[in-house]
Amino acid sequence: MLKKAGVAILGLGVVGGGTYQILTEKREYFKKTQGVDITVEAVLELNKERALSLGVEESKIAGSIEEVVSNPNVDIVVEVIGGTGVAKTFVTKALMSGKTVVTSNKELFAKYWPELEAEAKKMNAGLFFEASCVGGVPIIRTLQDGMQANKVLSIKGIINGTTNYILTKMANEGSSYEEALKEAQRLGYAEFNPTADVEGFDATYKLSILSSLAFNKKICIENVYREGITKVTKEDIAQGKEMGYTLKLLGIGKDTEKGVEVRVHPTFVKNDNPLASVNDSFNAVHLVGDAVGEIMLYGRGAGALPTGSAIVSDVIFAAKHDEYFYACFENNTKGNKETKFVSDFTSKYYIRLTVLDAAGVLAKIAGVFAKNDLSISEVKQVAGTDGKAQVVIVTHISKESAVKKAIEKLASLEEVIEVNSTIRIED
């Protein structure tokens, strides 16, 4: 028997427009392949001309959220407004009205997941969020429905397309960070105010959600170490390339015997690492399960149709299922008190220094490393001008706290003019 579902879309921007396009153009296709008849019954869009230009009937353009949630023909509400102000109010009202909600809003979900899920449970409504992480890549469904046989040991990914585009341009064209950012803004990959992307907030929201699902433990955004790409230089990217590394902004989660470590920061990976070849605005996530081993998911992390694809997959899933499933872990705003977090994590480190080009300098630097129990894997010195030189050091696996102490001591040496950068390395 053909199931029917009515949808309301809140916001007809890039993603909302893409969602509307897929739902309307593929209605007959979904009837044949999925056994569901999905119709768009309402849209909430302040720009009426925008809605009409997309083909929305004037009678289906709602004037308020109350009009949407009181519509008996609406079963599923799609929220693509973004932010945590109006979007939170509208999503909450939809859930309180017993409507199933599908959202692409990673900030809203990362910050208010427990609150929204509690309301959904109370009203026996669905709450779906595939599009909140990694655009059109089906990572949420993979973690929820494809990895049940596994204890997920780690999740590492390029989960922000804007920063990946910027770093790719810096690597391939030798652009500065400022030049690459301007180009990203011109092409629409970066916002006029790019802070959420370039400072790692966007990736932090996503890693909070993904690591919670991967490890079956609530990982709050406050638990995630965050560092953006604004201090990355083309010199570091070039030096890394010569040493066989590619620089990416990674979201990294590991569930270890010592505890959970979750961090977002610029990271060097070996050129033969699959993540090294993920370029431009593409995203990828690498999972390791104790039974299945390694899995890699790759695809477009943003855009009207890729993100719309993820939203529509949730809409179809919701339309086909009468029972909804919620988090299997203790899902509250502060997480589980029993969850241990590793802040003093271990990694290899790339360190670049500007030093006096004089005898004995490398010996002094090596002495600082030795006193802090840091083992050096590789050293490279590049002669400079005006009596200065560049020294690049790669450590063996070291503790974060030991590296920070060594950096502090190096900065105090007379022979060290500047500690230019410290970048972690993941094998």
Q: Is the pLDDT of residue 333 over 90?
A: no
Task: Please identify which residue in the block is written with the tokens 């089906």.
Answer: 138
For residues 118 and 28, membership in a common domain is answered with yes
Q: Contact, 73 vs 2, CB < 8 A?
A: no
Q: Which residues pair with 398 in a beta bridge?
A: 347
Q: Is the pLDDT of residue 199 over 80?
A: yes
**What is the rounded CA–CA span in Å between residue 281 and residue 274?**
16
Q: What is the mean pLDDT of the chain?
A: 96
For residues 291 and 214, membership in a common domain is answered with yes
Confidence of residue 86 (pLDDT cuts 50, 70, 90): very high
Predicted pLDDT of residue 427: 82
For residues 88 and 158, membership in a common domain is answered with no
For residues 101 and 160, membership in a common domain is answered with no
Domain assignment present for 307: no
Domain assignment present for 317: no
For residues 72 and 160, membership in a common domain is answered with no
For residues 115 and 205, membership in a common domain is answered with no
Q: Is the pLDDT of residue 223 over 90?
A: yes
Beta strands in 48-105 (DSSP E): 61-62, 76-79, 100-103
Domain assignment present for 334: no
pTM for the model stands at: 0.95
User: What are the pLDDT digits (tens) for 107-138?
Assistant: 999 999 999 999 999 999 999 999 999 999 99
For the question of residue 206 being annotated catalytic, the response is yes
Which residue among the candidates 93, 169, 206, 217 is catalytic per the annotation? Answer: 206
Predicted pLDDT of residue 383: 77
Rounded alpha-carbon distances, angstroms, from residue 239 to 19, 183, 301, 380: 43, 23, 28, 10
For residues 9 and 110, membership in a common domain is answered with yes
* Helix %, strand %, coil % of the chain (to 5): 40, 30, 30
Q: Could you list the residue range(s) of the whole structural domain that residue 376 is in?
A: 346-426
Confidence of residue 325 (pLDDT cuts 50, 70, 90): confident
For residues 121 and 155, membership in a common domain is answered with no
Domain assignment present for 313: no
The percent of residues above 90 in pLDDT, for the chain, comes to 93
96: exposed, middle or buried (C-beta count within 10 Å: 0-12, 13-18, 19+)?
Answer: middle
For residues 122 and 185, membership in a common domain is answered with no
Domain assignment present for 305: no
- Starting at the edge strand found earlier in the chain, the sheet holding 61-62 runs 61-62, 36-44, 3-10, 76-79, 100-103, 127-128
Number of domains composing the chain: 3
**What is the rounded CA–CA span in Å between residue 113 and residue 420?**
39
Query: What CATH number does residue 372 fall under?
Result: 3.30.70.260
Domain assignment present for 356: yes
Q: Is the pLDDT of residue 202 over 90?
A: yes
Confidence of residue 302 (pLDDT cuts 50, 70, 90): confident
Amino acid at 10: L
For residues 280 and 393, membership in a common domain is answered with no
Query: What CATH number does residue 87 fall under?
Result: 3.40.50.720
For residues 79 and 158, membership in a common domain is answered with no
For CA atoms 247, 249, 254, 258, give the dihedral sign.
positive
**What is the rounded CA–CA span in Å between residue 105 and residue 83?**
7
The percent of residues above 70 in pLDDT, for the chain, comes to 100
Rounded alpha-carbon distances, angstroms, from residue 334 to 84, 115, 203, 217: 18, 12, 20, 11
Domain assignment present for 93: yes
End residue of a domain, out of 132, 164, 188? 132
Confidence of residue 384 (pLDDT cuts 50, 70, 90): confident
Could you please report the per-residue DSSP string of 335-384? --TT--B-SS-EEEEEEEEEEE--TTHHHHHHHHHHHTT--EEEEEEEE-
For residues 200 and 115, membership in a common domain is answered with no
Q: Which residues pair with 406 in a beta bridge?
A: none
Confidence of residue 382 (pLDDT cuts 50, 70, 90): confident
Confidence of residue 386 (pLDDT cuts 50, 70, 90): confident
End residue of a domain, out of 132, 148, 171? 132
Predicted pLDDT of residue 263: 98
DSSP letter (8 states) at residue 130: G
Domain assignment present for 375: yes
Query: What CATH number does residue 185 fall under?
Result: 3.30.360.10
End residue of a domain, out of 65, 100, 132? 132
Predicted pLDDT of residue 240: 96
CA atoms within 13 A on the CB side of 282: 13
